[in-house]
Structure 1
Amino acid sequence: MTGKRILVIDDEDDIREVAQLSLEMVAGWEVLTACSGSEGIEVASKEQPNAILLDVMMPEMDGPATYAQLQANTTTNHIPVILLTAKVLSTDQRRFSNLGVRAIIPKPFDPMTLAAQVAKALGWSL
C-alpha cells in the first residue's frame, strides 16, 4: 500500500535511520522523523502522518508523556501510535497497552520485519 506516511520519534539517530530505511525500502512508505517528543508533536500536527512509531525512553519528554500530549491535541488524537521499547517486562507492557497504543514493538527490532509488524498492528496490507 503506497501513500502511507509514518512518523518515527526516537532520540537515537541510528534507530531513526534504520527504521526509516526499513519502512521506505520494504513498504515504500514515506517516513518523517523527529528526535524528541516535543518535535514529534510539532511534526505530527503539521504533517498529519498515518501512524507514529514512538520511542518510550527519551530525555525530557518520554514516550508515554508524548503520547498523552498527542491524545490531548485534537489535530493529532486520531493518529494511531505504536511504541518502540527496550522495556519488555510484562508489567511495563500492561502499563503501555493500558495507554491505548495500537501495539508495542520491542527493540532491537528486525529491520526486515518492521514494516510487516507495523502493517499488522494497523490492519494495513503491504
Structure 2
Amino acid sequence: MSRVLLIEDDRAVREGVTLTLRRRGHEVEAAATGGDGLAALETFRPDLVLLDLMLPDKSGFEVCRRIRATQQIPIIMLTARGDDIDVVLGLE
C-alpha cells in the first residue's frame, strides 16, 4: 500500500491515525513536530503527507510551503481551524 507521513503534535491523534492507517495496510511514519516531519520527509519518502496546522515548533503552513518548495507530494491538512483565511492559506 502507500507510505504516509503523519505530522501531528497531539499524541492521542497521532497514535489513533497511525493505528488506523496501519490496520488498513499502509506504512506510516509519525512525527510530533514540523522539524521532525521535514527530516522524516527526506528519509521516509512518503506518497502522502497528513499535516496538522498547529504544531509546537512551526506553523503547518510553513511546513507545507517548505515541502512544496522541493516536492510535489499530496498533502492533506488536518486542523480544527475553520476560518476563511485558513482555508485560503491552505489552498495556496
TM-score (norm 2): 0.91
Which residue of 1 is the match for residue 7 of structure 2? 9
Q: Deviations over 1:18-49 (max 9, x none)?
A: 11011112x21111101111110110111101
SS in 2 for 1:11: coil
In structure 1, runs of 5+ residues without a counterpart are 100-126
Instruction: With a CA cutoff of 8 Å and minimum separation of 6, indicate the structure with the bigger relative contact order.
Output: 2
Q: How far 1:92 sits from its partner (Å)?
A: 1.8
Deviation of 1:95 (Å): 2.3
CA RMSD of aligned residues (A): 1.2
Identity within the alignment, %: 32
Which 4+ runs in 1 deviate beyond 4 A?
none
Give the match for residue 116 of structure 1. none
Report Cα offsets for 1:66-92 as digits up to 9, x if no partner: 11111223xxx1211110000023332
Matching residue of 2:49: 52
How far off is 1:17 after superposition? 0.3
- Which residue of structure 1 lines up, in the alignment, with residue 80 of structure 2? 86
Q: By how many angstroms is 1:12 displaced? A: 1.1
Partner of 2:30: 33
Secondary structure in 2 matching 1:94:
helix
Unaligned segments of structure 2, at least 5 residues? none
Paired residue secondary structure (1:6): strand
